[in-house]
Amino acid sequence: MKFMVADVFADPARDGFPGTTGNRAGVVWLQDSVTFPSDIYMARLAARLGYSETVFVLAGGPATYRLRYFTPVDEVDFCGHATLAAFEVLRSLGISDGLSASAITNAGTVRVAWIGEEIFMEMVPSLTVRFFSSRESLDFYRAFGLEPSLRFTPEIICTGLSDILLPADSKEQLDTLEPHFEMISALSQLYGVVGFHVFYVPEMFRGKIYCRNFAPLYGIPEEAATGTSNASLAFYLFRHGYDVSHCVCIQGESMGKSSLVTVRYNGQSMQVGGLSLIINK
């Protein structure tokens, strides 16, 4: 068993300053194992490490690996940044060829590939789970101390994991929101989602979107970068007529951990990726 750490969706401008960019994930490479450890062991190790997600990686065949993901409080079916962390670690150890590979997860099989120094994953199909009217979503906005959006309405979208996408109408609103974590947890549990992905789309859209993500129900008050949530966001914006064939979701600024999540969606295939930095070897 080998343990390593990576910062995923790192901002190239902050390369060389570990811990100040991207979203950190723990990676446990089960190099001498043919089965996963017990669920209790993995849950306890993830809780002790304290990262938003820790991924356990098991060899599953040629260029294929089995992955399971644990937050500090529970297992989740999929995690974008932890998937990319896992394969960046495998490449750094010389186990993966650094070209392409497959991840077998509880949410389905995901392909990953390297493009230069960046790593991308092909996401599972997105699905709109539920629409909300302006009236239905008032509690969502109260949970964040926000005024309801005049441009968009919230939706639950699943891309491996389900989130409530909650629009804000200005960057200032996004930067100064006041999360009430008990309310957010209760609403997340009520609607069967991991958490809330709050976003702002500039009216003069040039491929940049600003986001914040909250999942206190799973022990994550705020997360610096989320691949699945931003894939869901690209799906949402595509349905609203936006060109998201190449867009960048900027996240983590409020945490002092600027993260850049690149999303490519053409209405059929969805790719999410960016730069991953290995912290220890």
pLDDT at 19 over 70: no
Span 127-272: which CATH code?
3.10.310.10
133-176 pLDDT, tens digit per residue, is 888 999 999 999 999 999 999 999 999 999 999 999 999 999 99
CATH 3.10.310.10 in the chain: give the residue spans.
2-122, 127-272
Instruction: Say what the pLDDT of residue 182 is.
Output: 98
Higher confidence at residue 163 or residue 257? 163
pLDDT at 15 over 80: no
pLDDT at 53 over 80: yes
Instruction: Say what the pLDDT of residue 17 is.
Output: 60
Instruction: Say what the pLDDT of residue 18 is.
Output: 59
Instruction: Say what the pLDDT of residue 116 is.
Output: 86
15: number of Cβ within 10 Å: 15
pLDDT at 79 over 80: yes
The partner residues of 200 in beta bridges, in order of sequence, read 210
Say if CB 116 and CB 275 are below 8 A apart: no
Instruction: State the average pLDDT over residues 167-191.
Output: 98
CA dist 238 and 267 (Å) reads 7
pTM of the full structure: 0.90
pLDDT classification of 127: cutoffs 50, 70, 90: very high
DSSP H helices in the chain: 39-49, 80-92, 138-144, 171-176, 181-191, 227-239
CA dist 146 and 55 (Å) reads 34
Say if CB 226 and CB 251 are below 8 A apart: yes
Of 61-70, 88-97, 113-122, 228-237, which one has max mean pLDDT? Answer: 228-237
Residue type, 103: A
Average pLDDT, the chain: 93
Residue type, 119: I
Class in CATH terms, 2-122: alpha beta
CA dist 131 and 137 (Å) reads 10
Instruction: Say what the pLDDT of residue 14 is.
Output: 63
Instruction: State the average pLDDT over residues 260-271.
Output: 94
pLDDT at 262 over 90: yes
Instruction: State the average pLDDT over residues 180-196.
Output: 98
Instruction: Say what the pLDDT of residue 1 is.
Output: 87
197-254 pLDDT, tens digit per residue, is 999 999 999 999 999 999 999 999 999 999 999 999 999 999 999 999 999 999 999 9
